[in-house]
């Protein structure tokens, strides 16, 4: 399999899932501006939307959308227990968490990476993200992980996007539970490996 990725982007989330699952893949780096791939091709031929991540299976089939990709990876390695089994209510809670991280946090950050973002809009975006962080911090004060009693792919995804508080100049120390959560995940050997692999 091949994972199309860009250092620091949301593709770190499937990379964490792959390391936690013990699955080896070929990494193909993508320049998100030019859409050029490190192996010489045009990434738009892989994903016409131009965004990472994409996972290419050995059959050649391509999967896109981070929340779908991490669940596919987790199901390839059920003994890694990074997703509750399909058909359980906990699996629905995992999908709930992945969707929340995707639509409320990941895409909440996205305007902040746009250089032409007007100041008034930026203030609205930061306020909305603060509300999401308040909610997540309350949850993570009571529970170590987003779903169930152990690390799942939803934690790898939230860890990834919370990392963007640094380049976006958001002071995460306002939410000590989120600082502790990120530190807990950063200590995981497989997460360290994934970060280094980028």
Ligand X SMILES: N[C@@H](CCC(=O)N[C@@H](CS)C(=O)NCC(=O)O)C(=O)O
What string of H, E and C letters represents the secondary structure of 61-91? CEEECHHHHHHHHHHHCHHHCCCCCCCCHHH
**Considering only residues 62-91, where is the footprint of ligand X by CB under 6 A?**
65-66
Nearest approach, Cβ of 6 to ligand X (angstroms)? 6
Q: How far apart are CA 84 and CA 117, in angstroms?
A: 39
Q: How far apart are CA 45 and CA 172, in angstroms?
A: 38
Stretch of 50-58, 73-81, 85-93, 184-192 contacting ligand X, by CB under 6 A: 50-58
Closest among 19, 17, 150 to 73, alpha carbons compared = 17
**Considering only residues 94-113, where is the footprint of ligand X by CB under 6 A?**
102
Does residue number 55 form part of the binding site for ligand X (CB under 6 A)?
no
Nearest approach, Cβ of 52 to ligand X (angstroms)? 4
Among 3, 4, 10, 195, binds ligand X (CB under 6 A): 10
Binding footprint of ligand X on the chain (CB under 6 A): 9-10, 32, 50-53, 65-66, 102
């Amino acid at each position: 399999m091949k994972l199309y990725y860009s250092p620091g982007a949301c593709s770190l989330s499937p990379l964490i899932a792959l390391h936690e699952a013990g699955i080896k893949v070929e990494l193909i780096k993508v320049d998100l501006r030019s859409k050029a791939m490190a192996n010489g091709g045009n990434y738009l031929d892989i994903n016409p939307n131009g965004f990472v991540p994409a996972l290419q299976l050995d059959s050649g089939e391509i999967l896109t959308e981070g929340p779908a990709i991490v669940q596919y990876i987790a199901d390839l390695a059920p003994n890694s227990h990074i997703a509750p089994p399909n058909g359980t209510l906990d699996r629905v809670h995992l999908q709930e968490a992945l969707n929340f991280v995707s639509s409320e946090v990941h895409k909440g950050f996205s305007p902040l990476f746009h250089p032409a973002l007007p100041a008034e809009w930026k203030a609205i975006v930061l306020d909305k993200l603060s509300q999401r962080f308040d909610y997540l911090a309350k949850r993570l004060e009571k529970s170590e992980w987003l779903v169930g009693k152990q690390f799942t792919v939803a934690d790898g995804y939230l860890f990834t996007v919370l990392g963007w508080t640094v380049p976006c100049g958001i002071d995460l120390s306002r939410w000590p539970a989120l600082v502790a959560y990120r530190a807990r995940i950063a200590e995981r050997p497989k997460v360290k490996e994934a970060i280094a692999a980028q």
